């Protein structure tokens, strides 16, 4: 967050000193458990003979914590092994400039049934973006052909039509967004198409193209040429095929006390044992048990293992027998979600009041610039970009230059973000599929093998890649584990 950056104090130095431990040390304060500790679970013996635990869950994000809670409630002695010193995975509750922020996954919505059920279950409070939220006018600027343009009413009408045209096939591609096989032939017919390919099919004005391209990049968290059109169409379909629901589902409602508040509620109910700072090196099936070896050399015996780590980090763990080669191939190829998210404090009350939105296509360092929180002496913005190589989010001057390409009157005082692509236990942001991935890999994901059960939030139906999808994946993995163990 320094104004001046040198070769020694930039993004890679940042991740080495703060990354897997927590951005600027914020994780320990915001998390459920502290650095290097093990949290004792409810005292119970393992049901399965010659096992230390009935269930070991690898990964302490929402998928893993859900699987652990449910496994405990199913009567199994359960252990969570998390490589980082905090829980939450690719969600990360922190603070910036006096505001609670989320460095990873953030927003939820009632069209996301699994996470919304948890909100109701625990009575968690929500807030709206921007905070404080009031119905007010939004100024829009589109960076187009090197200029920051404020679209007129006729431009906005045309843009609205362009968005609808872009997603015009979504209802037939995803008639049932939780059942890809229902329209499998239709999906396979567009499987090779990228988000950019779909843009090229349409007769859009350059301004319309810039706007739609920005939202495609923002949705997929990658450039539109690397995003799967079918996957982007899934996002549009899940909240009901309209722009208002789409924007609200992806960027309006969040946890008042942070995503960690739900993690803590799940832990308090299930009371699994948790070990932090404990990366797993090996998983070996041996008849009626599985041996889990940590990087520290400890071996833990379990009746079943639930794998809940991001798909991109699967190759870090040695599995015996070896994993499905298609799983390994996909993990090494990596999904396309690899962009940036950066918070900015700008000087003074937002000029003119209201709220602001900045929009730019895939080639721009930031595709979306959104008002996040407002105060009397400053404003917080959050920006999303498709390519981390185009902007060092730790460099205030670089961020300032990009922000001024949208709104020249904004002065960035400091910036803050987390480098998920450099985090060895993430190697990317939320999962977005690449073109051809449905046909090539879909039937290989989330396929259990023996006593190794897969519950990764990157895969599955519905809101995969979201908090909602992670909770769904974890709960289903726990159900399958119960069937396995009896």
Count how many domains the chain has: 1
Task: Report if residue 284 sits inside a domain.
Answer: yes
Global pTM reads 0.93
Task: Report if residue 282 sits inside a domain.
Answer: yes
The structure tokens listed for 300 are 């833990």
Q: What pLDDT is recorded for position 353?
A: 79
Task: Report if residue 272 sits inside a domain.
Answer: yes
Q: What pLDDT is recorded for position 37?
A: 47
Task: Report if residue 473 sits inside a domain.
Answer: yes
Q: What are the two backbone dihedrals, phi and then psi, of residue 203, each rounded to the nearest 5 degrees? A: -95, 85
Task: Report if residue 383 sits inside a domain.
Answer: no
Does 187 sit behind a cis peptide bond, omega within 30 degrees of 0 on the bond before it?
Answer: no
The structure tokens listed for 307 are 């794998």
Task: Report if residue 283 sits inside a domain.
Answer: yes
CB atoms near residue 383 (< 10 Å): 26
Q: What is the bridge-based pairing of β-strands 99-102 and 412-417?
A: unpaired
How many whole angstroms separate alpha carbon 40 and alpha carbon 43? Answer: 8
The structure tokens listed for 297 are 């050399």
Domain holding 268, by residue range, is 23-90+259-334+432-485
Does 130 sit behind a cis peptide bond, omega within 30 degrees of 0 on the bond before it?
Answer: yes
How many whole angstroms separate alpha carbon 388 and alpha carbon 337? Answer: 11
Q: What pLDDT is recorded for position 38?
A: 57
How many whole angstroms separate alpha carbon 185 and alpha carbon 413? Answer: 51
pLDDT in tens, the chain (486 residues): 334 333 334 544 444 444 444 333 333 333 344 333 456 677 778 998 999 999 999 999 999 999 999 999 999 999 999 999 999 999 999 999 999 999 999 999 999 999 999 999 999 999 999 998 888 889 999 998 889 999 999 999 999 999 999 999 999 999 999 999 999 999 999 999 999 999 999 999 999 999 999 999 999 999 999 999 999 999 999 999 999 999 999 999 999 999 999 999 999 999 999 999 999 999 999 999 999 999 999 999 999 999 999 999 999 999 999 999 999 999 999 999 999 999 999 999 998 878 999 999 999 999 999 999 999 999 999 999 999 999 999 999 999 999 999 999 999 999 999 999 999 999 999 999 999 999 999 999 999 999 999 999 999 999 999 999 999 999 999 999 999 999
CATH number of the domain within which 467 lies: 3.50.50.60
Are the C-beta atoms of residues 111 and 240 closer than 8 Å to each other?
A: yes
Task: Report if residue 77 sits inside a domain.
Answer: yes
Closest to 121 (Cα-Cα) out of 70, 55, 63? 70
The structure tokens listed for 39 are 């949290």
Q: What pLDDT is recorded for position 3?
A: 40
Task: Report if residue 83 sits inside a domain.
Answer: yes
């Amino acid at each position: 967050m320094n104004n001046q950056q040198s070769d020694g104090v930039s993004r890679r130095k940042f991740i080495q000193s703060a990354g897997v431990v927590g951005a600027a040390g914020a994780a320990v304060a915001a998390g459920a458990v502290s650095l290097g500790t093990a949290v004792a679970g409810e005292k119970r013996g393992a049901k399965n003979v010659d096992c230390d635990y009935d269930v070991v869950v690898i990964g302490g994000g929402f998928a893993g914590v859900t699987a652990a809670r449910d496994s405990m409630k199913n009567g199994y002695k359960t252990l969570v092994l998390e490589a980082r010193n905090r829980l939450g995975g690719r969600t990360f509750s922190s603070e910036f400039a006096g505001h609670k922020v989320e460095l990873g996954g953030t927003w939820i919505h009632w069209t996301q049934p699994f996470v919304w059920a948890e909100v109701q279950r625990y009575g968690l409070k929500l807030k709206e973006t921007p905070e404080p939220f009031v119905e007010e006018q939004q100024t829009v600027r589109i960076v187009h052909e090197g200029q920051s343009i404020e679209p007129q009413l006729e431009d906005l009408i045309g843009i609205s039509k362009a968005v609808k045209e872009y997603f015009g096939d979504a209802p037939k591609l995803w008639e049932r967004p939780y059942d890809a096989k229902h329209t499998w032939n239709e999906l396979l017919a567009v499987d090779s198409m990228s988000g950019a390919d779909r843009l090229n099919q349409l007769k859009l004005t350059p301004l319309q193209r810039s706007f739609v391209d920005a939202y495609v990049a923002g949705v997929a968290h990658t450039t539109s040429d690397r995003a799967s059109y079918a996957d982007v169409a899934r996002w549009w379909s899940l909240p009901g095929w309209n722009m208002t629901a789409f924007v609200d589902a992806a960027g309006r409602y969040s946890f008042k006390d942070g995503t960690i508040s739900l993690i803590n509620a799940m832990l308090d109910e299930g009371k699994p044992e948790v070990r932090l700072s404990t990366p797993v090196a090996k998983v070996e099936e041996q008849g009626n048990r599985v041996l889990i070896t940590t990087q520290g050399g400890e071996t833990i015996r379990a009746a079943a293992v639930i794998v809940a780590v991001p798909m991109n980090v699967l190759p870090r763990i040695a599995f015996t027998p070896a994993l499905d080669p298609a799983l390994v191939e996909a993990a090494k190829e990596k999904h396309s979600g690899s962009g940036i998210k950066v918070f900015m404090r700008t000087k003074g009350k937002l000029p003119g009041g209201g709220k602001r939105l900045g929009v730019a296509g895939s080639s721009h360092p930031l595709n979306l610039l959104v008002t996040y929180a407002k105060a009397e002496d400053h404003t917080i913005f959050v920006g999303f970009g498709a390519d981390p190589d185009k902007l060092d989010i730790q460099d205030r001057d670089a961020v300032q230059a990009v922000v001024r390409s949208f709104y020249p009157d904004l002065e960035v005082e400091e910036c803050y973000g987390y480098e998920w692509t450099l985090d060895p236990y993430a190697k990317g942001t939320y999962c977005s599929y690449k073109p051809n991935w449905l046909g090539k890999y879909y039937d290989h994901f989330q396929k259990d093998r023996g006593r190794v059960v897969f519950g990764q939030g990157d895969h599955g139906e519905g809101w995969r890649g979201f908090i909602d999808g992670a909770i769904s994946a974890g709960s289903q993995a726990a159900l399958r584990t119960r069937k396995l163990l009896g």
